[in-house]
Structure 1
Amino acid sequence: MSIWLVKAPGLREAIEGAMREQVAHGPAPSPPAPAAQPSVSRQSLLNDLALTRAELRETRKERDHLKARLRLQLGSKLDTTSHDDLVTRIEGLSERNHSLQRDLDAARLQSRQQQDEIAELQADLTAARAAMKKVIRQANAGGSSDPT
Structure 2
Amino acid sequence: MSQHEHHDMHDMAMTGRELTRNAVSATLHCLTGCAIGEVLGMVIGTALGMSDGSTIALAVVLAFFFGYALTVRPVMRAGLPLAGAIKVALAADTLSILTMEIVDNAVLLTVPGAMEAGLGSFLFWGSLAFALAVAFVVTVPVNRWLIGRGKGHAVVHEYH
TM-score, normalised to structure 1, is: 0.21
Looking at CA atoms only, which structure, 1 or 2, has the larger radius of gyration?
Answer: 1
TM-score by length of 2: 0.20
Q: More relative contact order in 1 or in 2 (CA 8 Å, sep 6+)?
A: 2
